[in-house]
Copies of this chain bind each other. A is one copy, B any other.
Amino acid sequence: MIRRFITTVADHTSTCIRGRHLRRALLSSLMALGVSSATLATTASDEHRAVILLIGDGFDDQHVTMGRNYLMGAAGELTLDTLPIRAAVQVETVDAQGKPVYVADSANTATTLAGGQVTEIGRVGTDRQDKDIETLLEQAAAAGYRTGIVATASVTDATPASFMAHVSNRGCENPEIIMGGERYGSQYPGCPDDARNNGGPGSIAEQIIASPAHVVLGGGLKHFDYSPFDSDITLLEQAKSQGIAVATDLDSLLTSDKDARLLGLFAPKHLPVRLRGADGRKAEAVTGSLLNKVDERLGTVEQPAPMACEPNPEFGTTPTLATLTEVALDRLSRNNDRGLFLMIESASIDKQSHARNPCGSIGEIEQLEEALAVALTYAELHPNTLVLVTADHAQAAQIVPEPSLFEDLPLPSYTPGKIARIETPEGGLMAINYATTVFPSEEHTGANVPLFGNAQALGVVKPFMRQRDVYQAMRQYLGL
């Protein structure tokens, strides 16, 4: 039955339907198909409380606007834009000495959102003295809420990990790399103090299995294919032997035991993204004339040709973020009067921005929108449900003029970085600049990030907050 519903969701969400209509369509699908009475029943009890936190990784206002312009048109509105609450959130980071650092990574920011403390770049669920920070997921689970994590990243990646695990460095995803070694051509120290060989709680993958999270869905299968130091059995097999239902594709997800803990891992690392640039093109450098090669300020340049976005053939039968969200909410709300905490991450808005692929980011913004529609449908049926959407940090992409503001002047104006000129469905040409670095991966940036909330957020969030305040708001909402 749920399979039919998911197909319906996918049909609805494959085109750009305005949020309101999408939510209504989802609602009627749910009602018509009668998926899980627990999911559908409006909870009368005041005891029931739910927090659904959606994180768009790197989803700053440039990316929000990129998504709006492409998916809805410059005069249109995202589902996000229809939410009644909007705020700005300051991202805080410190160095080892506690001094402010003005640009964050996903590990320290997710740790702050999950645990309310400001920490160092790279840290997962630990403070700068390497002490564990208890997370909202852990607190909620201890208070009887059912908890879950959904991500398009590997579930061992920084954002999901920071809600379930505690290690000194985000790279310590599995029992092998936690001991350090060669990584990206450099020596990686790992987190030997956290390793089980040394009496620690183990790698992120090991800690996820041991965590109270009832549902964990995303990528990262390869990290569970390692055995801990004291065993010949892989983590995945150990999970199964502990009664955890394991899914590795849509079929096994939908047929898995609905009452068991659920671990779904749908790709070796991160899930493939939905969209890509035509023929796999990304942002590119301009081509300069001979004079321009002599002096970059002179001569003329040719901009990269415009490109459309197209479906990424690698996406295939990957479950969408909306499908994973629907399954997670279904499992978390079965026979559960207490309520739930669910974190949903659209991870590759950021990853595709690192890779200078605006179409990739846009497709993952669409996925976030669809997951939000599912969350809002759940909230309509369960009144005491706080839905928040935010970003962890700002990112490199910038919408830049097409053509240049200086096109009439006798010197060329063009990016020193890489640019993609995206043909939008409404017939415009949206130029996206990536120029934080010449390195193969773009750098994050430091702007405050947006936060959006449903009506339950009224009085719960303020117009300006810090990420640690967002943690406190969720915590108070759940009465923790």
Contacts and interface: CB of A to CB of B under 8 A. Distances in A.
Given A411-B439, A452-B463, 15 more contacts: A69-B100, A69-B102, A86-B88, A100-B424, A102-B402, A102-B428, A186-B410, A396-B398, A405-B444, A406-B443, A416-B435, A416-B437, A416-B438, A430-B446, A433-B435
Interface stretch (A48-56, A73-81, A226-234, A304-312): A73-81
Interface in A12-70: 60-62, 64-65, 68-69
A297 interface: yes
Contacts of A65: 90, 446-448
22 contacts: A60-B447, A61-B449, A65-B448, A69-B102, A69-B446, A81-B463, A86-B463, A101-B402, A102-B429, A103-B399, A103-B405, A105-B405, A296-B438, A398-B398, A398-B445, A406-B437, A406-B441, A414-B437, A415-B436, A415-B437, A416-B435, A416-B438
Interface residues of A, number: 82
Given A85-B463, A86-B464, A103-B401, A437 B409 contact: no
Given A417-B417, A447-B61, A438 B297 contact: yes
A82 B394 CA distance: 22
B441 A62 contact: no
Contacts of A448: 61, 64-65, 68
Contacts of A446: 62, 65, 69, 398-401, 430
A326 interface: no
A466 interface: yes
B416 A439 contact: no
Interface of A: 60-62, 64-65, 68-69, 73-75, 77, 80-88, 90, 92-93, 99-103, 105, 121, 184-186, 296-297, 394, 396, 398-402, 404-406, 408-417, 424, 426-431, 433, 435-441, 443-450, 452, 463-464, 466
Nearest to A94: B74
A322 B396 CA distance: 34
Nearest to A446: B399
Contacts of A445: 62, 398-400, 433
Given A81-B464, A398-B398, A405-B444, A431 B102 contact: yes
Contact of A68 (B90, B426, B452): B90
Contact of A436 (B75, B84, B398): B398
Contacts of A296: 438
Given A105-B405, A447-B62, A100 B426 contact: yes
A416 B429 CA distance: 24
B436 A411 contact: no
A428 B75 contact: no
A99 B447 contact: no
A110 to B, nearest CB: 15
B466 A438 contact: no
A293 to B, nearest CB: 13
